[in-house]
Structure 1
Amino acid sequence: MGHKVLGLEVSGKEIKTALVRNGARPQVLHCGAYPIPFLRGEGIADDENEIGSVLLSLKDIFKQNKALAGADAVSICVTDPQTVVRFMKLNAFSRKEQKAAVEYEISQSFPGVTRTHAISFKEYSRTKTEVTGIVSFAPKKNLEGYRKLLEELPFKHQAVDVVANADEKAFRTFASQLTKDETVLICNIKSASTYFTIISGGRVLQSRQIPEGRRQTADAICMALSCTPSDFEKMCMENSPESARLAEMAETGYRYIEEQLRQTIDFFSSEQQQAVGCVYLAGDGSIFPNLATHFTESIGVQTKLMVPKSDVKADKTMFLKTFSVLGAAVRED
Structure 2
Amino acid sequence: MFGDNKVLGIDIGTRLTKFALLKQGTKPEIKAWAIVPTPPGSVSDGLIRDREAVLDMLKSAISEFKLTAKKIAVTIHSSGIMLRELNLPALEDEEIEPAVQFELAQSFPDMIQTHSTAFKIYTKTNDRLNGISTSCPKQIVDSYVEMFADSGLNLKYVDVNANTLAKTYNHFVHPPMQGDSVLIVDLSYAMSQVNVLVDGKLILSRSVSGGGSFVDSLIVNRFEITMEEAEAARQSGYKTLSISQEELDSCLRLGYSSVEEQMRQTLDYIRYSKLPDGIKEICLTGGGSNFPGLETYFSGMFRTPVNIAQSDSIPLEVSDKFFILMPAIGAALRED
- TM (norm. structure 1) is 0.91
Matched ranges for 1:185-224 at <5 A: 185-224=183-222
1:218-245 C-alpha deviation (Å, 9 max, x unpaired):
2231332233444333332334153634
Aligned residue for 1:307?
310
AA at the equivalent of 1:259:
E
Contact 1:10 1:43 in 2 (8 A): no
1:238-284 C-alpha deviation (Å, 9 max, x unpaired):
34153634454223311221122111100121121341001000001
Aligned residue for 2:326?
323
Q: Label 1:325 to 1:63 Cα distance change in 2 as closer, same or farther (>3 A).
A: same
Contact 2:148 2:155 in 1 (8 A): no
Report the CA distance between 1:157 and its aligned residue.
Answer: 5.5
Q: Which runs of 5+ in 1 are unaligned?
A: none
Identity of aligned residues (%): 26
- The answer to whether the aligner puts 1:60 opposite 2:63 as a matched pair is no
Find 1:226's aligned residue among 218, 224, 227. 224
Find 1:19's aligned residue among 21, 30, 38. 21
Q: Label 1:4 to 1:90 Cα distance change in 2 as closer, same or farther (>3 A).
A: same
Q: Label 1:212 to 1:159 Cα distance change in 2 as closer, same or farther (>3 A).
A: same
Counterpart Cα distance in 1 of 2:301 and 2:194? 17
Q: Label 1:171 to 1:180 Cα distance change in 2 as closer, same or farther (>3 A).
A: farther
Find 1:285's aligned residue among 280, 285, 288. 288
Report the CA distance between 1:314 and its aligned residue.
Answer: 4.5
Contact 2:145 2:155 in 1 (8 A): no
Contact 1:31 1:319 in 2 (8 A): no
- The answer to whether the aligner puts 1:262 opposite 2:260 as a matched pair is no
SS in 1 for 2:180: coil
SS in 1 for 2:116: strand
Report the CA distance between 1:329 and its aligned residue.
Answer: 1.1
Between 249-258 and 97-106, the greater mean CA deviation after superposition: 249-258
Counterpart Cα distance in 2 of 1:16 and 1:260? 26
Counterpart Cα distance in 1 of 2:176 and 2:104? 35
Aligned residue for 2:103?
105
Counterpart Cα distance in 2 of 1:227 and 1:176? 40
Aligned residue for 2:122?
124
Q: Label 1:156 to 1:228 Cα distance change in 2 as closer, same or farther (>3 A).
A: same
What number of residue pairs does the alignment pair up?
Answer: 329
Aligned residue for 2:31?
29
Q: Label 1:312 to 1:247 Cα distance change in 2 as closer, same or farther (>3 A).
A: farther
1:154-178 C-alpha deviation (Å, 9 max, x unpaired):
3445111111111100101112589
- The answer to whether the aligner puts 1:151 opposite 2:149 as a matched pair is yes
Counterpart Cα distance in 1 of 2:315 and 2:179? 21
AA at the equivalent of 1:257:
V
1:50-106 C-alpha deviation (Å, 9 max, x unpaired):
10001111121122112x12x121111111210101121222211111110111111
Counterpart Cα distance in 1 of 2:43 and 2:312? 33
AA at the equivalent of 2:25:
G
Contact 1:117 1:139 in 2 (8 A): yes
AA at the equivalent of 1:51:
R
Report the CA distance between 1:210 and its aligned residue.
Answer: 0.8
- TM (norm. structure 2) is 0.90
Between 87-96 and 313-322, the greater mean CA deviation after superposition: 313-322
Counterpart Cα distance in 2 of 1:153 and 1:171? 32
Counterpart Cα distance in 2 of 1:35 and 1:11? 9
Report the CA distance between 1:184 and its aligned residue.
Answer: 0.6
1:179-220 C-alpha deviation (Å, 9 max, x unpaired):
875111000011111111100222111111112222222223
Q: What value does the CA root-mean-square deviation take over the aligned residues?
A: 2.3
Contact 1:74 1:155 in 2 (8 A): yes
Contact 1:44 1:146 in 2 (8 A): no
